[in-house]
């Protein structure tokens, strides 16, 4: 891509984004639209936050499972067949 086409694309994208921001913040219908969409955006962000918590818990569980498997493998390798007691 040439520098001229990059500048043209950047200008076009900037104009579109500027027009959208102007519409949302400078017109009455844009303000109404923002009022309608803000609760949906909040709901979406809350859902993303809950999903992050779920992924974190799954990662912790996977780590604990991996540690348990490594411990079992090392016990078998050492010939320790007696089950471990958890406290």
Ranges of H-type helices in 1-87 = 3-26, 28-78
Taking 50 as the pLDDT cut, the residues of the chain under it are none
The pLDDT value recorded for residue 82 is: 56
User: 34 with 24: CB under 8 angstroms?
Assistant: yes
Tokens found for residue 2: 């040439």
Q: Encode pLDDT of 37-46 as tens digits.
A: 999 999 999 9
The pLDDT value recorded for residue 64 is: 93
pTM over 0.75: no
The pLDDT value recorded for residue 77 is: 85
The pLDDT value recorded for residue 84 is: 55
């Amino acid at each position: 891509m040439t520098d001229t086409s990059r500048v043209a694309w950047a200008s076009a994208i900037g104009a579109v984004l500027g027009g959208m921001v102007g519409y949302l913040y400078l017109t009455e219908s844009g303000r109404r639209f923002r009022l309608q969409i803000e609760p949906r955006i909040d709901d979406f962000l809350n859902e993303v936050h809950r999903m992050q918590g779920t992924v974190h818990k799954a990662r912790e569980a996977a780590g604990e499972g991996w540690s348990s498997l490594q411990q079992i493998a090392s016990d078998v390798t050492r010939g320790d067949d007696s089950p471990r007691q958890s406290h």
